[in-house]
Structure 1
Amino acid sequence: MQKITHIVLTGTATVLLGLGTLLAAPAVLAAGKAPDSKVCNDKDNPPKDAVTQGGCIVLNRTKGNCMGCHEIAGTSSGNIATKMENVAKRWPDKAKLREQIYDASKANPNTVMPPFGRHNILTPDEIDKVVEFVLTL
């Protein structure tokens, strides 16, 4: 009887610990999806992974605001720039993608895309996180 009680209590504790971890942990962004605004705006439990943080920067109208021009699935988005899908296939060189976000005018002097890094709109760390996010699209 004592052995059965121990097994039941151990199993119950394991299940509760797992549920507690799931409930307490910040949502990690699923590949190909923009983060929910609730995740981005949760000051008590902000996202800790670079992909979700990058997604939050992309959606932030005072920072990246990428969806103002680019179509991003699951968001109200613009359509004057390339659609954000299959990014890893279109940009297999992560350094070139980062450079494009840092200063798109180097590759195309007539671009309307802001030079996010050169104009200090985004920090180098924020650009790295944006790159990590858009590569999931």
Structure 2
Amino acid sequence: MGKTVKALVGTTAAFLVGSLLWTTPAQAAGQVPDDKTCKDEEAVKKLDTATQGGCVVINRRKGNCMACHQIAGISSGNIAPPLVAMKQRFPDKAKLRAQISNPHQFNPDSVMPPFGEHKILSPDEIDKVVEFVLTL
């Protein structure tokens, strides 16, 4: 590799690493928002849809997804599939939404609660959770 190519690769890598260091967790795709941010209801309303969904995911009285699913960056469970590569696993957003709303339609033996059918989450909350989960 020539000196110019090595310098370009090194500069590009430094830029990318620096960019990641300046991104706050609540704004970074694939990262769970912090609990403090999610507890401020007025602040949550100003966040992007995916981050609002992340707040529903970590709310123990709402989604509580991490109780069963492994989610990078937070203490989480291991009795359900890990939430990784979700865009690849669910390229059809409607199917992911249906899975969250009523997982028993796809697997009658699922232990996942039907968040929509049992009105644990509102349709708007489910939409936000879908947006967040697709960043994982």
1:77 to 1:63, Cα distance in 2 relative to 1, 3 A: same
State the Cα distance separating 1:49 from its structure 2 match: 1.2
Aligned length: 112
Identity of aligned residues (%): 61
1:68 corresponds in structure 2 to 67
| Distance (whole Å) between structure 1 residues aligned to residue 32 and residue 87 of structure 2 | 16
1:38-80 residue CA offsets vs partner (Å, 9 max, x unmatched): 1111245224311111000000000000000000011110000
1:132 corresponds in structure 2 to 131
State the Cα distance separating 1:27 from its structure 2 match: 7.6
What SS does the aligned partner of 2:125 have?
A: helix
2:5 corresponds in structure 1 to none
| Distance (whole Å) between structure 2 residues aligned to residue 68 and residue 88 of structure 1 | 21
Structure 2 spans left out of the alignment, 5+ residues? 1-23
| Distance (whole Å) between structure 2 residues aligned to residue 43 and residue 103 of structure 1 | 27
2:36 corresponds in structure 1 to 38
What SS does the aligned partner of 1:45 have?
A: helix
- Calculate the TM-score normalised by the size of structure 1: 0.78
Native 8 Å contact 1:104 1:113 kept in 2: yes
Native 8 Å contact 2:116 2:126 kept in 1: yes
Cα root mean square deviation, aligned? 1.6
| Distance (whole Å) between structure 1 residues aligned to residue 130 and residue 33 of structure 2 | 15
| Distance (whole Å) between structure 2 residues aligned to residue 122 and residue 30 of structure 1 | 24
Native 8 Å contact 1:28 1:49 kept in 2: no
- Calculate the TM-score normalised by the size of structure 2: 0.78
| Distance (whole Å) between structure 1 residues aligned to residue 127 and residue 41 of structure 2 | 22
Native 8 Å contact 2:56 2:62 kept in 1: yes
Specify the structure having the higher radius of gyration (Cα). Answer: 1
2:113 corresponds in structure 1 to 114
Structure 1 spans left out of the alignment, 5+ residues? 1-25
Q: 1:43-62, aligned counterparts within 5 Å?
A: 43-46=41-44, 47-62=46-61
